[in-house]
Amino acid sequence: MGPTACGKSKLAICLRRYLPIELISVDSALIYRGMDIGTDKPSASDLSSHPHRLLNIKDPIENYSAGEFQKDVLKEINDIIKLEKIPCLVGGTMFYYNILLNGLSILPSSNIKVREYLLDKKNEKNFLHKKLELIDPVSAARIHKNDFQRLLRALEVFYLSGKSVTELKKNNYYKLPYNIFQFAIIPPNKEWLNNRIELRIKKMLILGFQKEVEHLFLRGDLHVNLPSIRCIGYRQMWEYLEYKNSYKEMLNKMIYATRKLAKHQLTWLKKWENLNKILYNSIPNVLVKKILDVLQKTKLSE
């Protein structure tokens, strides 16, 4: 685990030289086909030598629920164990890790009519968040007023089940039936991470990120309210293509949104239990050694 732009994928690939691991992507953006540059997806050559499961499994027009992730990731873990190898999960979608470790309440499936009703209301100032505050203040305190996807889902669950997400989760008893070793790359400081994020975004633009989004834009069947297009970077570039922002505004918004994501990821990690924190080092083998040392010490103590 770790914040965006800290080298998680590179470390996981390097780790394969030392351990019999198979990689599973834990990233809500890397699931989409045709969204490569903006998600900083591993290169074709890297994926050829080091395949990642749960990557490129959805078209951008498709939704992918937390429940689907839970089902898919458990299947991949079991399949890898049957091969007598070690599942190694890599990515930065902390909510997905939380689901894997703590389970997910049985929630009703999405309903297009309920979603359409709520989407009609979303332009009324803070309507969704205010509504959720009345129904489920615990979830409302956790979900930002501009996080439309999560607000929609929380309200949708209530309208369909008559119970709030918080109430349903109270009845959730789940334990992952495996021994888990958790590692996170921690940046040396905030300034380092912010500079790295800015450099990554500028590199994406040089590599042709605008053309990638233009291809999606010109398909004609995609829109800005889809989870795929709401991914950081894609939403800002989409608005630029709709002439809602200047190029400079688009770039600044991309950088700001990515830094905000990294801050959110670090907040998750600060309160994460049983976590081995590894300070970033530019030499992957140094980080690998730290991981192997933890595993060796655990083995000796058993």
CATH number for the domain harbouring residue 27: 3.40.50.300
In a domain, 24, yes or no: yes
Does one domain contain both 42 and 109? no
Say yes or no: 163 and 54 in one domain. Answer: no
Q: What is the CA radius of gyration of the chain?
A: 20
The answer on 208 and 143 residing in a single domain is no
Classify residue 15: in a domain, yes or no. yes
Tokens (6 digits) for 290:
């730290």
Q: What confidence score (pLDDT) does residue 114 get? A: 84
Contacts of 100 by beta carbon, 8 Å cutoff, 6+ apart: 26, 70, 73, 74, 89, 176
| Shared-domain flag, residues 94 and 122 | no
Q: What is the pTM of this model?
A: 0.81
Mean pLDDT value across residues 195-202: 97
Please check whether residue 1 lies inside any domain of the structure: no
- Residue 2 located in a structural domain: no
pLDDT in tens, 210-239: 999 999 999 999 999 999 999 999 999 999
CA separation for the pair 265, 259 (Å, rounded)? 10
Domain that holds residue 56: 8-104+174-301
Minimum mean pLDDT among 50-54, 108-112, 182-186: which range?
108-112
CA 155 to chain centre: 22
Residues 55 and 42: their CA atoms lie apart, in Å, by 10
- Does residue 222 share a domain with residue 195? yes
Residues 167 and 40: their CA atoms lie apart, in Å, by 37
If asked whether residues 13 and 34 sit together in one domain, one would say yes
* Domain end (from 173, 190, 212): 173
Q: What is the mean pLDDT of residues 144-156?
A: 86
**Is residue 173 scored above 70 in pLDDT?**
no
User: Is 65 contained in some domain?
Assistant: yes
Q: Are residues 13 and 147 in the same domain?
A: no
Dihedral of CA 275/40/217/253: which sign?
positive
Q: Give the tens place of pLDDT for each residue, 106-123.
A: 677 778 888 888 878 767
pLDDT tens for each residue of 124-142: 778 889 999 999 999 999 8
Task: Tell me which of 173, 195, 221 is where a domain ends.
Answer: 173
* Model confidence pLDDT, tens digit, residues 73-86: 999 999 999 999 99
How high is the pLDDT of residue 300? 75
Q: Is residue 3 part of a domain?
A: no
Q: Tell me which of 119, 154, 173 is where a domain ends.
A: 173
The confidence score (pLDDT) of residue 109 equals 76
Residues 184 and 96 in one domain: yes
Total domains in the chain come to: 2
Q: Is the pLDDT assigned to residue 105 strictly greater than 70?
A: no
The rounded mean pLDDT for the chain is 92
Is residue 221 included in any domain, yes or no? yes
pLDDT of residue 298: 86
Q: Is residue 264 part of a domain?
A: yes
Sign of CA dihedral 232, 234, 239, 240: positive
Amino acid at 243: Y
- If asked whether residues 100 and 113 sit together in one domain, one would say no
Pick 160 or 107 by higher pLDDT: 160
Mean pLDDT for 230-252 is: 97
Helix (H) or strand (E) holding 258: helix 247-270
Both 39 and 150 in a single domain? no
Which CATH number is 168's domain given?
1.10.20.140
Same-domain pairing of 228 and 80: yes
Among candidates 14, 12, 17, which has minimal Cα distance to 52? 12
For residues 269 and 129, membership in a common domain is answered with no
Residue 166 contacts by C-beta under 8 Å, 6 or more apart in sequence?
Answer: 136, 138, 139
Structure-block tokens of residue 179: 């021994």
